[in-house]
Structure 1
Amino acid sequence: MPEKTTHWTESLFDSVYALYETATEYRTAVRAAGVTASTVDFDRRVTHEGQITLAGRTNAWGHDSTRTPHAQALSVLHRLYSTVESETQGHYEEAALLYASGAAWAIRAVQRGEQPPRVVFQVDDHGEPGPHATEIPGLDTYADGPALDAAYNALLRCAQAAEYGEELGDREPVSDHEAGEMHRAWAEASGMAEAAYAYGLAAQRALNFVLVEPRRAREREIALARAAARTDQTTP
């Protein structure tokens, strides 16, 4: 039995939706990692003061060294959890940018009259996909256009802040004023993942809008084909 063929409008939307699910997975993981890291925050925990002696290790006074094992465990765990949180945040930002730019790419492709069955990404030297441009022109009649533009501008501000912070960081030496500017830029750039995710959601809704007419055209084709089939069956 032949496999059912999915129309390009549906497979394209599924492709974008898969990017949404990916970004959401990492977003949830970042939050979970942050909660886990907070469980070993020294500002929120009371460590047990009990100590152990480390035979064979001496301190500055020539006595056996001691250690507070509970405090050390919290320190080790905090370092491990913080590393996981940081790395997961990096994956989330990458996934969110792929989601946002993939949805934007899909919209632009449909606007050009193309019929891509999936979002296409170029890969880097390691075979990993890189994000597309995120701008979406030509949606003047879209009711949620202002919200889409606002989400895009928020993402653009984060991207510009990241570039500015990187530029300041590459300067040598960095003045006190520039250091302050750099920290402010990095603070704004830290919202990149959330801004990209929000823009991805807005762009995904806009993709549904630009797919309305191709989907209607598909429905008309199906209706005409069914009408022709009924005619053939009734013709003696």
Structure 2
Amino acid sequence: MPERTQHWTDSLFDSVYALYETAREFQTAHRAAQLATQTVDYDRRQLHAGRMALEGRTNAYGRTLTRAPHEDAASVLSRLYSTAESKAHRYYEGAALLYASGAAWAIRSVQSGNTPALVTFQIDDHGDPIPHALNIPGLDTYAGGPALDAAYDKVRDCLDAAGHAEDLAGRDYVADHEASEMFRAGDIASGLAEAAFAYGLLAQRAVSYVLLEPRRAHERELAAARAAAQQTAEESSV
């Protein structure tokens, strides 16, 4: 039996939803890495004071060198988890931007009268997808429009702050007040992943909204085809 082909409205929504699942996976991984980092936070736990001796090693006073293994382990794990958290955040941010911009692209495409079966991205020199523009015009009658606009503004604030921090960091000389400004901008920019994910959630709902009429049109086509088939069957049975 031949496999049923998805209508483009369904496959397009599935494409957006897959981007959501991807971003959510990295969000979960990032939060797990954050929790792991906190487990070795020196301000949050008591390290055991016991020490071990290293035979054949001496300190500056000629005594056998000793080390605190629990403290050493916490130090190693702190670096390990910190690296994992940084990488997970980077992946999360990238996935969240693809999710949000992919949903925005889908909406703009449908609004333009196109019927894309999948969200399509351009790629960079490394073969990685490049996020689309994030703006979504033409949703004045959509009830969720104000919330979507507010979420978009938060994403823009994070992106602008990231650009400002990068500009300051790239200067040969940074004054004290500029350094403080750079750190403040960096703090705002660090919220980009969460802001983009939140915007993506709202944009995904808007995808469903703009697909309502194309889906209704498809249902009308199917109903007309069924009616025509029924009529043909009745005529042939006479």
What TM-score, normalized by structure 1, do the two folds share? Answer: 0.98
Match of residue 15 from structure 1: 15
Residues 1:234 and 2:234 aligned together: yes
How far, CA to CA, are the matches of 2:183 and 2:46 in structure 1? 32
User: Displacement, 1:13?
Assistant: 0.2
How far, CA to CA, are the matches of 1:200 and 1:142 in structure 2? 16
- Secondary structure (helix, strand or coil) at the match of 1:138 reads coil
Deviations 1:63-119 (A, max 9, x none): 222100110001111111111111101100000000000000000110111110000
Match of residue 81 from structure 1: 81
User: Displacement, 1:52?
Assistant: 1.2
How far, CA to CA, are the matches of 1:172 and 1:58 in structure 2? 45
The number of residue pairs the alignment matches comes to 236
- Secondary structure (helix, strand or coil) at the match of 1:54 reads strand
Match of residue 161 from structure 2: 161
The one-letter code of the counterpart of 1:5 is: T
How far, CA to CA, are the matches of 2:40 and 2:180 in structure 1? 30
User: Displacement, 1:58?
Assistant: 2.4
Match of residue 206 from structure 1: 206
Deviations 1:151-207 (A, max 9, x none): 000000000000000000011111000000000000000000000000000100111
How far, CA to CA, are the matches of 2:69 and 2:173 in structure 1? 42
- Secondary structure (helix, strand or coil) at the match of 2:154 reads helix
Match of residue 141 from structure 2: 141
User: Displacement, 1:123?
Assistant: 1.0
Report the RMSD for the aligned CA atoms in angstroms: 0.8
The one-letter code of the counterpart of 2:233 is: Q
Match of residue 32 from structure 2: 32
How far, CA to CA, are the matches of 2:15 and 2:175 in structure 1? 47
How far, CA to CA, are the matches of 2:63 and 2:130 in structure 1? 57
Runs of 4+ that moved beyond 6 A: none
User: Displacement, 1:57?
Assistant: 2.3
What TM-score, normalized by structure 2, do the two folds share? Answer: 0.97
Residues 1:70 and 2:70 aligned together: yes
How far, CA to CA, are the matches of 1:37 and 1:169 in structure 2? 27
Match of residue 186 from structure 2: 186
Match of residue 98 from structure 2: 98
- Consecutive unaligned residues of structure 2, counting only runs of 5 or more, are none
How far, CA to CA, are the matches of 2:46 and 2:145 in structure 1? 51
Residues 1:58 and 2:46 aligned together: no
Residues 1:107 and 2:113 aligned together: no
How far, CA to CA, are the matches of 1:47 and 1:114 in structure 2? 61
How far, CA to CA, are the matches of 1:131 and 1:191 in structure 2? 17
User: Percent sequence identity over matched residues?
Assistant: 63
User: Displacement, 1:233?
Assistant: 1.0
- Secondary structure (helix, strand or coil) at the match of 2:117 reads coil
- Secondary structure (helix, strand or coil) at the match of 2:57 reads strand
User: Displacement, 1:144?
Assistant: 0.8
The one-letter code of the counterpart of 1:33 is: A
How far, CA to CA, are the matches of 1:207 and 1:45 in structure 2? 47
User: Displacement, 1:128?
Assistant: 1.0
The one-letter code of the counterpart of 2:190 is: S
Match of residue 215 from structure 1: 215
Match of residue 41 from structure 2: 41
